[in-house]
Amino acid sequence: MSTSAGAAAPTSPRLSVLDLVPVRSGQTSAQAVRASLDLVRLADRLGFERYWFAEHHNMPAVAASTPPVMIGAAASVTDRIRVGSGGVMLPNHAPLVVAEQFAALEAIAPGRVDLGLGRAPGSDPVVTQLLRITGPTADVDRFPQHVTDIMSLMSAQGAQLRLTSGQVYDVRATPAAESAPTVWLLGSSDYSARLAAELGLPYVFANHFSGQGVDEVLALYRDGYRPSEAHPEPRTFLTANVVVAETAEEAHARALPQLRMMARLRSGQPLTALETVEEAQASPLGALAEDAVESMRSRWVIGAPDDAAAELRRLAGRHGVEEVMVVPVAASRADEPLDATPGRERTLELLAGALVADGVPATPASAAPTA
């Protein structure tokens, strides 16, 4: 494979969404879920490519704990957008359970389901032990085998187990859908990139979380890629934290609560529900946390529509991708409704408008990316 960054990206990348289902102060997690379902409806209408839900546990500011449930709900309120996981943290779950959940989702929304798999815990050590109390699924070293097991179980041929008696036992995910979800490997280090290349699978680097090393990891993936029947070429896209508003000043104000939460997370401070803009502006963090905020701010896409769209075009071109998955992290103001996220909605609307205005129409979700 070539060592280049990839084929030149189009003038404007296709747009997708990663949703952690943020929970703001004063809001219930049920209200946050309803707001996210409204957001996926909007993304569907605006022509976004795909909409993924993350898996995190026991975090006051995040209600995305069960991707399959959210994916099923999202599929039921949309018509064309791909829906998926970003991702299912596989060591927390038995492979057969994951295979059957996503086989059911594929039966519900054929041709629209992505199964993104990661091997991180998605929570603190105590909750991780509760999730993995069954034992064998907790073996992170078995991640590669579990990935291939899931793909076999979801295939028309199914998987075969050889019992200690020597008998061969056939196992298939049920319901047996007419098609299978697209499996993606996700990661924030080179481990999953190397595995995806070896297995001939699509891969996404968690640029929105890590923000460093993306060039090196994507080069490892592309250079080491072994073509598979389903994916003869490497497929990847870029993720980015994004806040767009009518003015840069408003965008930076709406970015501040999420920046402060990430600073707390990385410095080991107690976590709370996501602050409103006013709460964030009224409470200083301290010098070390403020430094972390400024460091992260420089790597996020925050601004007015034209500037944000231009930055996403630059990011896509720099990394040779044709799609960008935005994490819309715009916080709410105190007087905004609790069952909606106007800042996140406006981010998608303004960003889609700016990029489509550049002359690149929305791509139907059924069209396969070529990145």
pLDDT digits (tens, 9 = 90+) for 342-366: 999 999 999 999 986 544 444 444 4
**Is pLDDT above 90 for 199?**
yes
Length of the chain measured in residues? 371
pLDDT value at residue 126: 58
Question: Which candidate, 217, 257, 229, places its Cα nearest to that of 343?
Answer: 257
pLDDT value at residue 74: 98
**Is pLDDT above 60 for 316?**
yes
Report phi then psi at 260, rounded to 5.
Answer: -70, -35
Q: How confident is the model at residue 208 (pLDDT cuts 50, 70, 90)?
A: confident
- Superfamily for domain range 14-357: Luciferase-like domain (3.20.20.30)
**Is pLDDT above 70 for 322?**
yes
Q: How confident is the model at residue 196 (pLDDT cuts 50, 70, 90)?
A: very high
Q: How confident is the model at residue 77 (pLDDT cuts 50, 70, 90)?
A: very high
**Is pLDDT above 90 for 369?**
no
Number of helices and strands in the chain (H, E): 12, 11
Model pLDDT for residues 235-259, shown as the tens digit of each residue: 999 999 999 999 999 999 999 999 9
On average, the pLDDT of the chain sits at: 87
CA distances for 45 relative to 74, 128, 195, 352, angstroms? 13, 37, 35, 11
pLDDT value at residue 9: 42
Tokens (6 digits) for 31: 């209200």
CA distances for 63 relative to 31, 85, 133, 267, 345, angstroms? 10, 14, 22, 22, 18
Model pLDDT for residues 251-284, shown as the tens digit of each residue: 999 999 999 999 888 878 888 999 999 999 998 8
Q: Averaged over 291-309, what is the pLDDT?
A: 92
Q: Averaged over 294-322, what is the pLDDT?
A: 94
Model pLDDT for residues 110-144, shown as the tens digit of each residue: 999 999 999 876 455 555 555 555 554 456 778 99
